[in-house]
Structure formats: structure tokens, C-alpha cells
Structure 1
């Protein structure tokens, strides 16, 4: 991203501080950070206190992915700060922190008729939309792509000013000084950052900011597992000792707790309840009813929950959602639906009609199973609402709460809280509106916490999907033609209509029932070079609203592709690794991942009941290969080991990257083995985590992760493991058992 004088703002803030902000249009937006006593704000990104503590604003929610370390690390490296004196400040909602990268990626959702005019994140359309809507959404692994450049430029500018201040004291040229470990240094002399910040206000920054020659990077070979970390995570100590504050930990004076019962997914309304049910319950306050929910308020959550149990709320369901209806709709779409060809290359005549190999794969709906259930706290006083909430979309939460109370969004103050796992569950924020209404009705602060059961009931699952994969092979068994016909609802566009237009669940579902959705088939184009290739989307109205989840479409398209290519290899009598490698001459980076993963796992060819299965996938510029090792004994089948190698370009923090791959593999294993409820009348049949067949700690296999060293732009590691683990495990189970598993979750089929 080019840096010019227009991108640097120098000016006094409250208290006579120093401001250095990286802005596209510097006079358009107020500065979001306010310095405290003896503290100086460096624009939108940095504050330095007189004692030398450097606070970094982070405009993305921390939900376990480590962003409250990654962005401060980028700033600390560029600034030359002492990591032991770096702190984090959640950034307020502001247009300055607009995520234009995600806005461009999601252009088909908010600009469906002309998305191409907003596909460039540096272009006017995407940036203007993101700024006007204060769009600092955390999703799709865009945090570094969106914020590393501005944060780095602001840090470089601040460093230059601090150096100028120190050089002026010493009477030397700034070029003779350097900044490191929170100090400005010159020939044995040193000055800390803190005392220099105020003086630096009198200097003008260089144009452009003097960025360090190399961006922040860690090399895989420098940090084997267990090695001391150069940049340990800032959030870990407080998470270990329990002092990290989540939304459910907020405590306000005179606060009531709320429990809730929500209507089934679908068109439903509250029809009745026992209004006298709370009598006799100590601490009970009152019931509050909404159009499709009812909440109880009490001095503690357990009393509120008990009151709802006694009240036995009833809902009138005009249109519910059923798994059988969804299955039938997918079958009908696959047999009779009209496809839209989303991708075509080569000779289409070679892949038309009935192809020699045709195999059907299925994926059931899946729920997020986040550790932390939905929670929010609200206080309504004097026409203004304060909202403490963990959300991936803070402005959307503000607007939802404001709309519920008939306020302007400007009358809602949102305090962003970290999230105990989200996996895109917290992109949608109905509980922001609910808690706002409860606080207004109560006239007191209210904290709403969803039970596990209610969190499942209110969640839109990842969509089910069905694919028929077809191929024509050559004389040696290689792939001459490949056709994927995938029946799936336009799930991304459906989400977009809810998120950007505020449509109700079934309104959004029906509006896109017959619409092709390329984002619903992301990853369906295989990584391999195939002479003739086509990918067709058959839209299906399954009667079940669906939403986003970690991995999104890649979670099922990778399963389709990598299970299919494995079957093609075995049909041809070819070794699965060599079969894949023969089609990757155009992508040496993915080929290296495959070779390295095979070496890491001591790949034996996947035959002769070895119990090994291999798979690879790419998401954007991120690449991964995984070898799964499974064993069959008298107790059944067990996944013993996962060996993964990823190429994610330049790695900012190797330990966090490893955590993200490992976490993605375990999350993907959960999707491969469970996370799939059945829906009846809009209600999932799973009310607890224990009912989702999730892998426990004892079930988790040994995991090895390695990385390819690269200088390419960073790619997000968080979803790679999610996508690739299911086909690797399915292929390993075939090796171990001789049976093909063509449905997720895998053990939904009898062995």
C-alpha cells in the first residue's frame, strides 16, 4: 500500500498529545483514540505513556486467533518497542479502521449486481463502502491483509518522530540514531520512548514513513516446537489466570441477569406462557416478551432460567425447518435442477453427458459448537445505550441494538469484548437487539446469556450439500475431464441479505432460492491441472436457513475434490501421492507441501491397509497438505496422527500460525466426526456439546505441523486445516477398512 503525505496526520489531541495516523482521507473522520493522563496518542494506532508503555489499538475482535498479538507485534517491530512494555487496546468502532479488504471480498454480497466495481480493496468503491459503514468486521482471515500496512506505516512515522526528538536533545543527525527495545540509541547514549513522546510533537514526519527494509517475519527453522518464543502471546497470561474478561464476565451495579427462550428456526411467534410462573422464586423480577422470544429477568441467571422452565413458553410455528425436507430438496435439485456453470476450461464436449466415473458425496448441516455461548450486557440511560458484547461485526451489532430501541447508531456506545471461540457464529447478533430491549424494559442494566441449548437453537448451521463428481480418464488412468455438479443453497448470498439488508431468515432464503452463488462453491475448482474442467452449481431451497462457519464452502468442496481424486487414483491402480503430484506441475508450492507432508508422516503409499490417507487444498494463496493415520482394532477405528505442512507465505508469528493450523485440524476433525444435528420443526436435536460427537482430548490424534519458508504475502492459516482434514481422514479410513466414506460426518454411514 503506497504511503503519501495525505496518509499521515500530525496534530494535537486532547491534552496536547502527539497524533500520527495513517488515513486515506485524514480530515474526514475524528480520531478514535483519546490519551489518558501522561499518555500520548499516536493517531489511530498507538499510544505511548510517560512510563514507556506502548498501547496498540486492535480493530479486530480477539476470538482465539491471536490478533491481539499479531498487530501489536507488527507495530512493536516497526517502532522498535520493548515487547515487555506493549499493551493492547480494543479499538472503538470507527471508519478509520474500515476493513476494505473484506469489503472487496464480500462485494458480491453487498453489491450483487455489479460486484466487479468493488473487487479492488484499494479502489474507491470498496474503501468508500467500508468507511461509510464503519465496516471493521473480523472474518475470512483478512486482518493482516487489511491492517498490517496502515499499522506498520503509523509505527514507522512515530519511530521517526521519536528519533528526531532524541537527536535534537543530543545535537546529532537523526540518521545517526536508531530505535530498539523501547529506546532511542546513539553511540552509547539512550533515551526511553516515554519521555520523548511529548517533545516529538514539534517535529514533522518524513514523507513517506521510513519503513524498515523487511517486514516482520519469522522463519520456520528458527522455532521448532517447544523453542522459546520471541513474541509470546499477550493474551495468554490473563487467559491462564482467569482475569481475561469476556462478555459474560461484565459486572455492573444493580444489574439483572436474563435467560431466554427463542422460537424454532423458521416463521414462528410466541403464542403463550404461564405469566405467574415466576411467583415464589426469590430474586425473580419479570418476564419480557418479544415477537418470537421470551426472556426472564432475575437477580441471577439460574433463577431466570428456572422461571422460564416453569413458564413453559409455547410458539406457533407457521413454517419450520426439517432435515428430511432439506435432504429431499437437495436430491430433487441434483436430479432435476437447472445448473449454472460457474467455471469452465478446456473442451466442454469431453465432459458432457454421462461420464465413465460418477460418484456422489454428501455433507450434512453442521453447527459451530463455540466454547462461549452468546452473551451481552446493556445499560440504557437518558436516551443512550451502552453495549458490552463479543461480536465479529461491531457496527452491525450497534445498528441492531439501535433499531430495536428506535435510536440512532450514534446513540449506542459499544464496548468490544473478546470471544471464547466464534467460527463466524458471532457475525450475526440478534442478542444485541434482545439485550437492548431488555435493558430498556427493566430500567436497569441487564446481562443476557444464552444457554447452550438456546445458542444451538438460534444458530444458522453450515449448509448441507450434495455433489456428483464425474470424470473421464485416459489410458493410464489420469484425469482427462472433470465435472462437479454441486447442489447447495445460495448460502453466502442468503447470509448477505440478512447481514447487509436486515432481511428475516426465510425472506432471505426465499429471495435467493434460484440464484447461483460462486461463494457457496469456493474451493470447488480443484488445485490440479485438468485438460477439461467444469463446475456447476445447482441452487436448492432446502427450507433451512444457513450461515457462515469456519472454513465455509472449503469445508465441503475440499472433501468432494480430495475424496474423488483419491478414488480415481485407486481405480487407476496408482499410488495416491504420485497421482496428485502428476497434476501439480503448475503449482510447485502445493507439490512441495505434499512431498514434505509425506516425509513428515513417513508415507507408505496408502495401500495394504496402512491406514494412511493424504489430501491437499488451497485457500487463496494459502496451501496445505495433510497425511492422516488411522488404525482399526477391536474398539473400532481411531485417527492416531495428523501430519500437516502448510505454505502461508511470510509468517508474522510462527507459534500463532502453528496454533491456527492445529486448531483448524481439530475443528475440522469435529466436523468430520460430528457437529451435525437433525432438525425437526426448526429445532436441532442436540442440546449439549456432548451430543455432537465432538472429539475429546483423549480422542485427539498426535499432530505435527511444519511450514514452507516463503517471502510471499501472508495468507491466513486459520481455515486451511478445517478444509483438508476430513478428506485426509476419509482416505485413511479407506486404507484401514477398505470402505469408502462419502458422507460427512463420516460415521453417519454404517461401517
Structure 2
């Protein structure tokens, strides 16, 4: 994204701090950071204290992806700070941190009729929306693209005024000074940042900021696994000693706890219940009823949960979500539904009109997010004002929804962000926080609501189920001539948009499942050069609320395409690697990933009995591209699916932090392994059939394979690596199982009974 923010204003803030506020299209924001005693705030991004500590504001939700280290690292490298003196704090909800990159990607959600006017991050309409609506949303790997340049500019401005203050003391030009390890240097002279803060208030930074010539980055070759880290994750010490604050760790004076029961999925309302059954139970306080839920409040969560078990509320239910009906709706849509053409290359309709050389039907089950921490939120309602503590990927949407639910002005709702113990896009929704707010208002005391695992499965929204058919025409030598992919799937992103932007209820947003959704189709496009190609998405309403999940449509598309390509190679009696390489002439960087992965994994051709399978994929965010190739070694034994090794080679452009990038790829591969082995549920009578985490077939520590991750350093803007491994692991594992002797698997997860 080109640097377009101009007009940095620097002066003394009301709190006695040094404030630099952006002049944004065209207004200025009130400083979102409030410096404490002995602190000076620079712009919206950092504060420096007289103790030398540099505190960096992070607007994105930390959910394990390491953003609370990446943004401080960017600031530290640009500022020239000492990493041992870096600290981090969650940023308040403010338009100063608006995410225009995601606003452009999601323009169809907030500007459905004119989305083409707002599909560029630097467009005036997009930036105004991101800033005026405080669109601070953590999703789709956009954090670096949205915030890196602004954080660098703030750090560069702070470095400049500190250098000016030091240069005045030394009688030199400030441009001759350097910043390093928390000091301003000139020859043998040096002064710590802390000693220069008061004098720096008299100076203004250059406009535009003078950024360092080298953008923040690390070389993978210098950081092999086990190497000493230059930038240790800032969140690790507190996570290791247990002091890190997740949503369920919040404690307030006079706080009580709530458990909840939701009705089955479908047309539902709360029916009869007898709260007197819980009378006399230790710790029980009262019940609070919602339109389709009942909560019990007690002085501890277990007492509240046991009270609900004794009360056993009943629900009046109309239509109920059911897997048989969902499957029938998907089959009907796949067969005869109106499709959106996502992509067309060449003349696929002629090639695929009446004859196919190979056809395959696929079924993808609903997938649950299965975060370690279930939904939890704490609310306090006093004197007509609401305070909320929760982990949210969309905090402003949460504030607006809470204000509407309690009939408050948005300014009367204060949100305190806390970290998430896993999310994978589940915390784009905030039903639990709204429920906590309603319960707190009724009880008149601070309340922490925590969903049980069963309620998380029931009231949380899964990744949408889908069905697809792939068809191919091939040349006499087996080469792919024409490929057709038709996918029937609800438009989950449009449905989410109805909840986020229009504040629709989950039930009211269901009709959007049958709307056109360009994001549902973006992940279906193969990375290969195919002469004749057509990709179609059939949006369909299924009666089951859905949402986005790590990898999104790419996780569907990669599984469909990469397993089907393997089938074509096998039918042509061609080696899977070379079969793919012939179609990658247009993407030499992905071909390089594939070749290196094969070399590192000692690829033997993927022949029968080898247990080896490979897959590759490409994801793109504007001009940022992430590429990955994986070779899996897998088999089945008496314990079920076994994955022995996963070897990945990744090209994500400039790498800001090699260790975090490696963690994200490794974690993504294991997440994808979970999607391959389980993570799914079916529905009967409006209820999920899996009630516990142990029923999801997730890999345990003993099941985790040896994982090798290597990087190709080829330049370009950094691409977020968090979803790449999750996308490509399932097809690689499926292909490995076939080579190990399994039948071809057209179902996800790769359960034996559905093979």
C-alpha cells in the first residue's frame, strides 16, 4: 500500500504527553493513547517513558498469531529501540487504527450495491469508512498490510524529534545522528531516549516521515530452528507463568458467574422452566431469560451450570437444522441451482459441454473452530453505562450491537480488549458478549458468562458444509485440457456481514446465504495454467447459521483441486510432481516451493505403498502473495489416521519475524491436520452430534508428526502465513493416504467410514 498519510501534528497533549495525530481524510482524531506519569505519547502507536520503556499499542486481537510481537518489533526496528525495554498494550477502539485493507476486501458487505467504488484500500470512500466507523477488524491476514506503514511512520517521527533534541545539545545536524538500542548516537556521543523526552517536545518531525531504507525483516537463512531469537515474543512470559489475561481470566469486585442454555438450531424460543428447582443450591442467585436462551447466575460458574442442569429448560422449536435436510439442499443446488461464474479461462463450456474424461463428487462436512478457550465475556452495567471485557475480532461491531441490545448510545459502551485462547474467526461474532451484557443489566452486578463446550458447539457457528463436482477433459497423454469446478455452499461471508454491519440476528441473516459472495469463490481458483477453466459457486440457504474459518474458501478449494489433480495424474500414469510442474510455468516461485519440498522430503514419486502425498497452493492479498508446497507422509493403522511427517516450503515475501512465521506455518499445518482427521459435526433435530472436544478427532500431542518448514526468500511485500498451512495440509494428507493403499477420499474430514 502506498504511503499517503500526510500532515503529522506534534505538540503537547492534555495529559502532558507528546502527541502526534494523523490528519486523516481530512479530519484529525483525538489521541487514543493516554500517557501515564512520566510517559510521552507519539502518535497513535507508541509511548516512551522516562524509565526508557517503549509501549506500543496493538489494535488487533492477539489470538496466538503473534501480532503483539510483530507490531512492537516493527516499531522497535524503525525507532532503534532496545527490545528488552519494549512493552505492549491493547489499543482502544479508534478510527486511528482503521483497517482499509480489509474494508476494501469486504466492500460487498458494507456497500453491497456499489462495492466496486470501495474495492481499493487507498480509495477515499474506503479510508473514510475504515476511519469514521472505527473499522478495526482482525481477519483475513490483513494486519501487516493495514498497520505496518503507519506504525513505522510513528516510530520514524519519534526517532526524528529525539534526534533533533540530541543534535541541539551537541551542536550537530540531526540527520547525522543515529538511533540504536534505545540511544541517540553521534560518533562517541550518546544519550538515552528517556533523557531527551522533555526537550523533544519542542520539535516537529519531518513531513513526510523519514523511514529507514530497509523495511523490518529477518533472513530465514540466519534463523534456522533453534537459533537465538532477536525478538522473543512479548506474550510468552505471561503465558508461561499463567498471568496472561484471557477473556475468562477477568475478575472484578462483586463479580458473579453465569452459565447458559441455548435452544436447538432453528426457529426456536424459550419455553417452560422452573427456577424453583434450583432453590437452595449453594451459590445459586437467580435465572435470567432471553428470547432463545436461559442463564443461571451464581457465585461460581460450576454452581450456575449445575443449577441449569437441575432446571432443565424446555424450548419450543419449529424447523430444526438437520444434516439430512442440509445435504439434500446442497445436492439440489449443486445439480440445478443458479451459479455465479467465479472465473473463466478459454472456452470451457465447449470442452465440458457433453463429455468428461473424469468426474468426481466431493462432500465437505461442517467444521467447528474448537478453540482452547470457549466463549467468555464479562459485563458491568452501572449508572446507564456498560463496560465489556471480551476477546473480539470486531470490537466496534460488538460495541454497536451491545448498545442496541441495551438501548444505549454507543458512547455509553466501553470495550476492554483481552486476548483470545484461539479463535480461527469464531470471535468475529459476539453473541456471548451481548448475552453477558443483558444478564449484567438484569442482575445489577458484574457478570462473567462462560459457554460450556457443549454450548460452544451448539451456539457457535461452523464453517459451512458444501458439495462440489469437478470434471475434466484430458489430452491423449493425460494432460489437463479443461477443468470445471462447481461448488454448492452458503455465502458465509455475506451472512456474517448481515450480523456485523446490519446488526441482524443469526436467524435474520440466514437469507443472505443465497446471495452472491465473491469471497466464497476466490479460493477455488487453481494456481495452475489451465487452457480452459470454469469455476462456479452456487449460493444456497441451508438453515444452519455459518461463519468464516481459518483458510476460508481456500481451505475448500485447495482440497478439491489438489486431490483431483492427483487423481488425474494417477489416471494418466504420470508422477504427481512432474504432472503439476508442467502446469506451473506461469508461477516459477510456486514451482520452486514444490521442487524444494520434494527434495527435502526425499520424494520418491508417490507410488503405490509409499505413503507420500503432495499439494501446493497460492493465496493473494492485493499485491501480496503467499505460496506453499507440502509433502505429507501418512497411513492408517489400528488407531486411525496417522501422519508421520509434514514437510513444507513457503514463499511469503519479506519475512518480518522468521520464528513467528515458522510458528504460524507449523500451527496451520496441525490445524489442517485436525480438519483432515476431524473437527466436524453433523446435526440432528437442531443439535450437533458432537458434544465434547474429545469427540472431534483432533490430533493429540502423541499424534503430531515431525514438521519441517523451510522458506524461500524471493522478495516482495510480506504475506501473512497464518492460513497457508491450514489450507494445504488436508489435500497433501489425503493424497498420501491414497498412495499408502487407501481408496480415493472425496470427503472432508477423511474419516474411514466415509472414504
Give the TM-score normalised by the residue count of structure 1: 0.98
SS at match of 2:510: helix
Q: Distance in 1 between matches of 2:56 and 2:137?
A: 18
SS at match of 2:552: coil
- What's 1:48 paired with? 48
- What's 1:707 paired with? 711
By how many angstroms is 1:229 displaced? 0.4
Query: Which contiguous aligned blocks of 4+ residues in structure 1 show a shift greater than 6 angstroms?
Result: none
SS at match of 2:393: coil
Instruction: Give yes or no for contact 1:741–1:749 (8 Å, CA) kept in 2.
Output: no
Q: Where in structure 2 are there 5+ consecutive unaligned residues?
A: none
Instruction: Give yes or no for contact 2:165–2:200 (8 Å, CA) kept in 1.
Output: yes
Q: Distance in 2 between matches of 1:434 and 1:196?
A: 49
Q: 1:627 aligns with which of 624, 631, 639?
A: 631
Instruction: Give yes or no for contact 1:668–1:725 (8 Å, CA) kept in 2.
Output: yes
Q: Distance in 2 between matches of 1:637 and 1:30?
A: 55
- What's 1:487 paired with? 488
1:648 counterpart = 2:652: yes
Q: Distance in 2 between matches of 1:636 and 1:313?
A: 39
Deviates more, 1:504-513 or 1:390-399: 504-513
By how many angstroms is 1:307 displaced? 0.7
Instruction: Give yes or no for contact 2:367–2:675 (8 Å, CA) kept in 1.
Output: yes
Q: How does 1:451-530 map to 2 (within 5 A)?
A: 451-513=452-514, 515-530=515-530
Deviations 1:241-261 (A, max 9, x none): 101011111111111111111
Deviations 1:114-162 (A, max 9, x none): 2111110110111111112111000001000000000001101110100
1:106 counterpart = 2:106: yes
Instruction: Give yes or no for contact 2:25–2:127 (8 Å, CA) kept in 1.
Output: no
Q: How has the CA–CA distance of structure 1 residues 197 and 352 changed in structure 2, closer, same or farther, with 3 Å as cutoff?
A: farther
- What's 1:719 paired with? 723
Q: Distance in 2 between matches of 1:636 and 1:49?
A: 56
Q: Distance in 2 between matches of 1:339 and 1:6?
A: 45
Instruction: Give yes or no for contact 2:380–2:446 (8 Å, CA) kept in 1.
Output: yes
Deviates more, 1:664-673 or 1:351-360: 351-360
By how many angstroms is 1:410 displaced? 0.7
By how many angstroms is 1:7 displaced? 3.8
Q: Distance in 2 between matches of 1:439 and 1:479?
A: 61
1:405 counterpart = 2:406: yes
Q: Distance in 1 between matches of 2:643 and 2:84?
A: 40
Deviates more, 1:710-719 or 1:144-153: 710-719
Deviates more, 1:68-77 or 1:454-463: 454-463
- What's 2:186 paired with? 186
Q: How does 1:81-480 map to 2 (within 5 A)?
A: 81-348=81-348, 349-480=350-481
By how many angstroms is 1:278 displaced? 2.0
Q: Distance in 2 between matches of 1:635 and 1:397?
A: 43
By how many angstroms is 1:547 displaced? 0.8
By how many angstroms is 1:58 displaced? 0.4
Q: How has the CA–CA distance of structure 1 residues 167 and 591 changed in structure 2, closer, same or farther, with 3 Å as cutoff?
A: same
Q: Distance in 2 between matches of 1:732 and 1:67?
A: 34
Instruction: Give yes or no for contact 2:492–2:546 (8 Å, CA) kept in 1.
Output: yes
SS at match of 1:740: coil
By how many angstroms is 1:634 displaced? 5.7
SS at match of 1:533: strand
Deviates more, 1:291-300 or 1:518-527: 518-527
- What's 2:695 paired with? 691
Deviations 1:374-420 (A, max 9, x none): 11111111111111111111111111211111101110111100100
By how many angstroms is 1:204 displaced? 1.7
SS at match of 1:78: helix
Q: Distance in 1 between matches of 2:319 and 2:637?
A: 46
Q: How has the CA–CA distance of structure 1 residues 121 and 271 changed in structure 2, closer, same or farther, with 3 Å as cutoff?
A: same
Q: How has the CA–CA distance of structure 1 residues 484 and 709 changed in structure 2, closer, same or farther, with 3 Å as cutoff?
A: same
Q: How has the CA–CA distance of structure 1 residues 64 and 256 changed in structure 2, closer, same or farther, with 3 Å as cutoff?
A: same
Instruction: Give yes or no for contact 2:9–2:204 (8 Å, CA) kept in 1.
Output: no
Q: How does 1:490-639 map to 2 (within 5 A)?
A: 490-513=491-514, 515-620=515-620, 621-633=625-637, 637-639=641-643
Q: What is the aligned residue count?
A: 750
Instruction: Give yes or no for contact 2:22–2:29 (8 Å, CA) kept in 1.
Output: no
Deviations 1:444-481 (A, max 9, x none): 11111111111111111101111111111112111111
SS at match of 1:396: helix
Q: Where in structure 1 are there 5+ consecutive unaligned residues?
A: none
Instruction: Give yes or no for contact 1:497–1:503 (8 Å, CA) kept in 2.
Output: yes
- What's 1:745 paired with? 749
Q: How has the CA–CA distance of structure 1 residues 474 and 586 changed in structure 2, closer, same or farther, with 3 Å as cutoff?
A: same
Q: Distance in 1 between matches of 2:707 and 2:442?
A: 51
Q: Distance in 2 between matches of 1:267 and 1:5?
A: 49
By how many angstroms is 1:328 displaced? 0.9
Q: Distance in 2 between matches of 1:241 and 1:568?
A: 52
Deviates more, 1:533-542 or 1:253-262: 533-542
Deviations 1:616-647 (A, max 9, x none): 01111111000000135565552100000111
By how many angstroms is 1:553 displaced? 1.0
Deviates more, 1:616-625 or 1:492-501: 492-501
Q: Distance in 2 between matches of 1:354 and 1:251?
A: 65
Q: Distance in 1 between matches of 2:573 and 2:442?
A: 69
Q: 1:682 aligns with which of 680, 686, 704?
A: 686
Deviations 1:235-284 (A, max 9, x none): 00110010101111111111111111112222211001112022111221
Q: How has the CA–CA distance of structure 1 residues 738 and 671 changed in structure 2, closer, same or farther, with 3 Å as cutoff?
A: closer
SS at match of 2:617: strand
Q: Distance in 1 between matches of 2:635 and 2:4?
A: 59
Q: How has the CA–CA distance of structure 1 residues 389 and 395 changed in structure 2, closer, same or farther, with 3 Å as cutoff?
A: same
Q: Distance in 2 between matches of 1:445 and 1:108?
A: 38
